[in-house]
Amino acid sequence: MQILPIIYFAYMFVSFYFLILILLLYFKNKNSLFESPKMTKEYTISILIPAYNEEKTIADTINAVYNIDYNNIIEIIAINDGSKDNTLNVIKSLASKYKNLKIFDKPNSGKADSLNKALKFCHGELIVVVDADSYPSKDSFKKMVGYFDDKQVGAVTAACIPRNRTTFLEKLQVIEYKVIAFTRKILEYVDGIYVVPGTGGMYRAEAIKKAGFDIHNITEDIEATWHLVHDGWKIRMCLATSVHTEVPNKIKPWYNQRRRWALGGLQCLNKYKDIIFRKGMLGYFIVPFFALGLFLGLIGMIIFSYLLLRRTITSYLIAKYSISVSSPILTMNSLYITPSVLNYFGLVLFFLFLLFTFFVLAIMKDRLFEKQSFFNLLFYMTIYLLSYPIILIVACRHYLGKKMIWR
Amino acid sequence: MEIKNKHVFWEALIVAILIFSSGILIGYILEMNRTNKIVTMYQESELNLLDVNVQKNLLSLNNIDCDGAIKQTIIFADRVYEEARFLDRYEDSAKLSQGLMFEHKRYDLLRTILWTNAIELKEKCGQKFKTVVYFYEYKPESLETRSLQTTFANKLSVIKEQFGNSIILIPLATNLEVNSIDYLLKVYNILETPTILIDEEIKISNIEDFKNLETYLK
């Protein structure tokens, strides 16, 4: 047997394994998917809102935070990280409206550093980080704090859902975010959550103050999560509530965001590579799972590019020779397609993932948003997901060249 | 982690192995079915060849007319040519078993016998048809060779349609370690692929000569 079919089969098996893993976890835990622990105590909460050039969205974020139905928010700290736009003035205008809104104005030093500095002033038992373009639901805190009754829980995240969903790109991201929210909840059942996104993470103050945010990592939320798990804390996901966030509506900012995520992921992998197959779920599952995802994406893309290149060169040569000898480029015989086992496997796997995405959307639909059109779903499954490994390759190139792009 | 989720990694692995193995098994059965189909076709062709051989032997007794023998040979050659294309398609899609390579060798041998028969027939009955033997490399690695062979094969199928019963087209793979083919390669000094040998005399190996293929066949 040739090497390419073997790689292809291995690739398929791993994808198939994770699909079954997620489905098994779902069926074992489906009754508790949308449940959240009952709030027994109103922990004191400090909210941090780091902002850099967010004049358009920060007012809505602060308003959303003040609308949250929770009685023990002791402070809200809006951090202006040296914004060049009108962000500071917007915050100041709201400070007169909201009495416990504190302003922390500082020169630009990045999100992680801003958060670390603000953490020193926080007094809450729990600390919530909300990006300045995100909007937690009214019931979010009441549904999330109950998890902290378990003394081992260090952080809780909620379903992060796009707020803007009118353009095609935004609609694709709605599908993506729903699938991510679902799988993140599923991974919770094996203590495998690998990120508490900055859009609305709730942390135990004791845990996050010790771990801090890594100023050298451009996805400080992933790194902080791994750090917490490394320190022995558990991470929980609350699917019963959500945080809405602004998602990029144009290709370039979307691409930049994804490249930043991929770069940050690579930084985390490099930082934690030594604990693979050591140190509990972080070493045995989270880091290998993350690494395998990147590796499979890269390998898949390399194989795909290799085959595409071979096919292109062959087609070009055939066309060139055929023209020179006045021979048909295509014959009826070459139009016959005899599918191989690999084609069948690929097709089956594609349909399984399509069904899985349908299934996830069906599960999430009642609790979250609108119907997805079939075309969007197909586009998402083919073109959109194909962009992941392409961006990953670009990120690898940047990473190896040490060109870190923050925004 | 709750107890019910503790063994999920192993459970998923077992389920994945079971389903994946079933898939591989089904794939293998599918390929074996295709091989069996080729084997059946081969057996029918082998019967036809025997028939052609008997007719050729009868020729030596002067009991049969040349036209009938030539007609049977051409019909048989066309059939084997079509079956070769069928076999090619199945071979391209075979990923789990090597059974079709064996069938390919058997077909190549069958076509070699057909060629030698045709040579004899031409000697006994005169030059009433032309033999066009196409030597190619089986599953070439080089993209250049692969493209050139595809072009040659496409053109030859057009030529076959154009010239009909006046030519016998015999494709033979040169790298399947079949002794009789290796011997014929030496006899006709075939050093590269693809090469076309017309009536055991004219050799065409480069694209420039290939352009004039029709003129050699007229």
Asked if B8 and A329 come within 8 Å (Cβ–Cβ), the reply is no
Shortest distance between the Cα of A360 and any Cα of chain B, in A, equals: 19
Asked if A16 and B146 come within 8 Å (Cβ–Cβ), the reply is no
Convert the pLDDT of each residue in A41-84 to its tens digit. 999 999 999 999 999 999 999 999 999 999 999 999 999 999 99
- Nearby residues of A270 by Cβ (< 8 Å), 6 or more positions away: none
Higher pLDDT, A368 or A118: A118
Window 281-300 of A, Cβ < 8 Å to B: 281
A49, A73 in Cβ contact below 8 A? no
d(CA A216, CA A227): 14
For B162, the token pair is 């154009």
Per-residue model confidence (pLDDT) at position B63: 58
Per-residue model confidence (pLDDT) at position A407: 43
Asked if B158 and A322 come within 8 Å (Cβ–Cβ), the reply is no
A28, B4 in Cβ contact below 8 A? yes
pLDDT category, A402, cuts 50, 70, 90?
A: low
CA nearest to B87 within chain A: A338
Say how many CB pairs under 8 Å bridge A and B: 116
Shortest distance between the Cα of A282 and any Cα of chain B, in A, equals: 13
For A328, the token pair is 């048909």
d(CA A94, CA A103): 10
Nearest to A325 among B11, B146, B155 (CB): B155
Q: Where are the alpha helices (DSSP H) in A135-250?
A: 140-144, 168-188, 205-211, 220-230
Residue B155 touches partner A, C-beta closer than 8 Å: yes
Residue B160 touches partner A, C-beta closer than 8 Å: no
Sheet containing strand A134-136, strands side by side: A101-106, A73-81, A45-51, A126-129, A201-204, A153-162, A234-245, A134-136
Q: Which residues of A touch B204 (CB under 8 A)?
A: none
Number of Cβ within 10 Å of residue A216's Cβ equals: 12
Q: Which residues of B touch A324 (CB under 8 A)?
A: 207, 211
Nearest to A24 among B12, B143, B151 (CB): B12
Options 2.60.40, 1.10.20, 1.10.3470, 1.20.120; CATH for B7-126 is 1.20.120
For A259, the token pair is 């490249």
CA-based torsion, B155, B161, B164, B169: positive or negative: positive
Residue A342 touches partner B, C-beta closer than 8 Å: yes
Window 161-200 of A, Cβ < 8 Å to B: 189-191
pLDDT category, A370, cuts 50, 70, 90?
A: low
Number of Cβ within 10 Å of residue A183's Cβ equals: 19
> CA geometry: angle at A189 spanning A185 and A194, to 5°?
60
Instruction: Report which of A161, A135, A108, A124 is spatially closest to residue A49, judged by C-alpha positions.
Output: A135
A354, A381 in Cβ contact below 8 A? yes
Q: Which residues of B touch A345 (CB under 8 A)?
A: 23, 27
Given the structure tokens 């007319």, which residue do they identify?
A: B65
Per-residue model confidence (pLDDT) at position A372: 59
CA nearest to A191 within chain B: B1
Residue B23 touches partner A, C-beta closer than 8 Å: yes
- What is the pTM for the complete model shown? 0.82
A294, A270 in Cβ contact below 8 A? no
CA nearest to A16 within chain B: B16
- Nearby residues of B29 by Cβ (< 8 Å), 6 or more positions away: none
Q: First and final CA of chain B: distance in angstroms?
A: 81
For A304, the token pair is 């795909």
CA nearest to A341 within chain B: B27
Per-residue model confidence (pLDDT) at position A368: 45
Give B135's strand partners.
B172, B195
B167, B115 in Cβ contact below 8 A? no
Q: What is the CA radius of gyration of chain A?
A: 24
* Reported CATH class of domain B129-218: alpha beta
Give A106's strand partners.
A81
A72, A42 in Cβ contact below 8 A? yes
Asked if B95 and A342 come within 8 Å (Cβ–Cβ), the reply is yes
List, as one string, the DSSP characters of A343-364: HHHHHHHHHHHHHHHHHHHHHH
Residue B165 — φ and ψ, nearest 5°?
-75, 0
Residue A4 touches partner B, C-beta closer than 8 Å: no
What is the residue type of A146?
G
For A401, the token pair is 């060249």
Nearest to B143 among A21, A310, A339 (CB): A310
Residue A13 touches partner B, C-beta closer than 8 Å: yes
d(CA B45, CA A289): 55
Residue B7 touches partner A, C-beta closer than 8 Å: no
Higher pLDDT, B18 or A341: B18
Where is B184: in which H helix or E strand? helix B179-187
CA nearest to B10 within chain A: A21
A48, A134 in Cβ contact below 8 A? no
List, as one string, the DSSP characters of B73-107: HHHHHHHHHHHHHHHHHHHHH--S--HHHHHHHHH
Residue A83 — φ and ψ, nearest 5°?
-60, 145
Residue A308 touches partner B, C-beta closer than 8 Å: no
Residue B94 touches partner A, C-beta closer than 8 Å: yes
Q: Which residues of B touch A351 (CB under 8 A)?
A: none
Options 3.40.630.10, 3.30.70.1050, 1.20.1250.20, 3.90.550.10; CATH for A1-327+338-407 is 3.90.550.10
What is the residue type of A320?
K
List, as one string, the DSSP characters of A269-282: HHHHGGGTT-SHHI
Q: Are strands A134-136 and A73-81 parallel, antiparallel or unpaired?
A: unpaired
Sheet containing strand B202-204, strands side by side: B167-173, B130-136, B195-198, B202-204
Lowest mean pLDDT among A84-93, A255-264, A383-392, B54-63: B54-63
Mean pLDDT score across all residues of chain A: 89
Residue B146 touches partner A, C-beta closer than 8 Å: yes
Number of Cβ within 10 Å of residue A34's Cβ equals: 17
B207, A325 in Cβ contact below 8 A? yes
For B98-109, letters b (16+ CB in 10 Å) and e give ebbeebbbbbbb
Convert the pLDDT of each residue in A84-118 to its tens digit. 999 999 999 998 888 889 999 999 999 999 999 99
Q: Domain locations in chain B?
A: 7-126, 129-218
Residue A321 touches partner B, C-beta closer than 8 Å: yes
Q: Quick one: average pLDDT of A24-28? A: 94
For chain B, residues with pLDDT lower than 70 are: 1, 56, 59-64
Convert the pLDDT of each residue in A140-153 to its tens digit. 999 999 999 999 99
Nearest to A341 among B8, B19, B30 (CB): B30
- Nearby residues of B63 by Cβ (< 8 Å), 6 or more positions away: none
